[in-house]
Structure 1
Amino acid sequence: MKSELNFCSVNCVEHVLIITINRPEVRNALHPPASIELNQIFDNFFADPMLRVAVLTGAGTAFCAGNDLKHQAGTKAQALPAGGFGGITARWQRTKPVIAAVNGLAFGGGFEIALSCDLIVAADSAAFALPEARVGVVATAGGLLRLPRQLPMKVAMALIVAGQRLSAQRAYEFGLVNEVVPQEEVLNTSLEWAKEIAQASPAAVRAAMQVVDQGLSEPAIEQLYVRQKSLSAVKELYASPDFTEGPRAFSEKRRPVWRT
């Protein structure tokens, strides 16, 4: 986390990593070098056992305006990193939660980044949109795949084919957003969520996320129900000190000390 950063900033608060996209002059739109930098930040986050939750936000009054089209128009095509747009849209089966602190507009790839996160806290002035079809491109950073799973189909299609905007309040009503707050409270509220998550056993969080991921990818729930305890992260939890520390701390009326 100490390496020089050109397009983002990072800050650690206890077990929480705060990642800020720092390109306010283009409303935090991302070009491939910025995505590569974010990819390395996320690589470091997932590899660091001391970090349990990440909060991703944008500098200024925008979360992320998506792909930097001006940069794209002036350069040759550049490949995205393995983690996808913003270093996160192609990260499947993650082991730690990521919270999107959407402090303003989240358009195009910015919306796709938010959809990739596990929770979303949004400013009351925030808005979400996939306007790609209006400029002759297509949202291939996961938006067309995730949005119909996270919104009612007709609502999702209105955003996808008509490029309609979705307000933060409407997104909350549809269950896409966890909480809507004034813009100046977005980061602090996201940190409150992150710190609450960080109090849980990291091993238990990993196990829960793996079961959820498998459940979403497998249509036969009854088959997964039988073998969920054989999933790697679940087996690791059962074999870890956390599995006995949690119940012991509860019975002793103290805060648990997680070791995994």
Structure 2
Amino acid sequence: MSQNVRLEKVGPVAHLVLDRPAKHNALRFDDLDHLVELLHAAEEDDDVRVIVLRGTGPSFCAGHDYDDAVRSYGLEPGPDGQRPRRPSQRARLLQDRRLGEGYMAFHYSLKPVIAQVHGVCTGAGLYLVELVDLAIAADTAHFSHAEQRLGLAGNTWHLNTQILKYGPKRARELLLLGDAFDGKQAAEWGLVNRSVPESELADTVADWAERIAAHPRDALVTGKAMWHLALDSLGGSQQFARGYVGHTLGTNLRLEADEFNFLKERQRRGTRGSFSDRDDHYSG
């Protein structure tokens, strides 16, 4: 069981807490698996009517832990510097299907989920914000879709949701350019419901959670089930079936000699240095 995520209850509100502040709550595969288990526990607890997803420390979630992903996908060089043998396609598809099922669990939660967003929100953290029912962000929150800057094919998990949320042109802009934007911009583009000063964030989320929790249990769950049916009519579940196959393909690209190779730079400069080199490369 991961120690980096936990469940707290405050009356009818369950808090799913990302608690790895030194890493800006970057999620490892095991962390996400445990987070989904805690989500299901909150769904099954009849005393819980609404769920809040939040992070401790300076950030909400800096995405998937890149070092964990490199190891999990067989991209980490061995002690002798030899390139490891990459996992088979069948192994990758199994792992990516599980990852997609984790995102889908939040999209199809039986109970309303509110994301409370501050600091950095990228990668897997941003996916969760895009997929849950409601989101409130600090004005100073820092969002970005920078997947293609890592030599990947961009987000594949929930393109239907992104097209509906941002519109097709804005969604392509966010994925191709990877530019950062703040909480106020996120509210204007429809990623979050509201942007507030960070000092007011927790109280605003608590107020919304309390107001939602006033509804009858059956009303909340039935209303959410009907929402799921509407999502499916718009391709809600099919996007994840495509998404995990796309993730396997999109994270296994051949990079040419004249293209920025994040993995190669990481071996030479380390993770922090290669992130800096990446930003310099794509900033023009």
Range of TM-score over shorter length = 0.7 to 0.9
Matched with 2:42 is 45
What residue in structure 2 maps to residue 223 of structure 1? Answer: none
**Unmatched 5+ stretches in structure 2:** 75-91, 235-284
Change (3 A) 1:40 1:80: farther
CA 1:81–1:100 in 2, change beyond 3 Å: closer, same or farther? farther
Q: Which has the higher contact order (CA 8 A, sep 6+)?
A: 2
Aligned residue runs from structure 1 range 205-244, under 5 A: 205-218=220-233
SS at match of 2:60: strand
Correspondent of 2:144 among 111, 125, 129: 129
Could you tell me the percent identity over the aligned residues?
Answer: 30
C-alpha offsets along residues 206-254 of structure 1, whole Å, 9 cap, x if unaligned? 22222222223326xxxxxxxxxxxxxxxxxxxxxxxxxxxxxxxxxxx
Q: Which runs of 5+ in 1 are unaligned?
A: 220-260
Aligned residue in 2 for 1:18: 15
Query: 1:246 matched to which residue of 2?
Result: none
2:204 alignment partner, one of 189, 210, 215 = 189
Normalised TM-score (structure 2): 0.69
Residue in 1 aligned with 2:59? 62
CA offset digits 1:132-171 (Å, max 9, x no partner): 01102232342x3321111122211110111122321112
The structure-2 alpha-carbon separation of the partners of 1:21 and 1:44, relative to structure 1 and needing over 3 Å to count, comes to same
Higher percent of residues as helix: 2
TM-score w.r.t. length of structure 1: 0.75
1:140 counterpart letter in structure 2:
T
Change (3 A) 1:88 1:100: same
Q: Indicate how the Cα distance of structure 1 residues 73 and 52 shifts in structure 2: closer, same or farther if over 3 A, else same.
A: same
1:140 aligns with 2:156: yes
The whole-number CA distance in structure 1 between the counterparts of 2:71 and 2:99 is 24
When residues 148 and 166 of structure 1 are mapped into structure 2, their CA distance, relative to the original with a 3 A threshold, is: farther
Q: Which residue of 1 aligns with 2:113?
A: 98
Partner of 2:179: 164
Structure 2 CA distance for partners of 1:82 and 1:49, relative to 1, 3 Å: farther
Q: What's the offset of the Cα at 1:68?
A: 0.5
C-alpha separation between the residues in 1 aligned to 2:52 and 2:130?
14
**Contact residue 45 and residue 51 of structure 1 kept, 8 A:** yes
Give the corresponding residue for 1:9. 6
Of the three residues 189, 192, 200, the one matched with 1:174 is: 189
Cα RMSD (Å): 2.2
- The change in CA–CA distance for 1:216 and 1:40 in structure 2 (over 3 A counts) is closer
Deviation of 1:81 (Å): 8.2
Displacement of 1:75 in angstroms is: 4.3
1:109 is aligned to 124
Do 2:50 and 2:209's aligned partners in 1 also have CA atoms closer than 8 Å?
A: yes
- Contact 1:57–1:100, Cα closer than 8 Å, also in 2: yes
Whether the 8 Å CA contact 2:106–2:128 is kept in 1: the answer is no
Do the aligned partners of residues 196 and 114 (structure 1) sit closer, same or farther apart at CA in structure 2, a change above 3 Å counting? same
Deviations 1:40-76 (A, max 9, x none): 1111011111111110111112111111111222345
The structural deviation recorded for 1:98 is 0.5
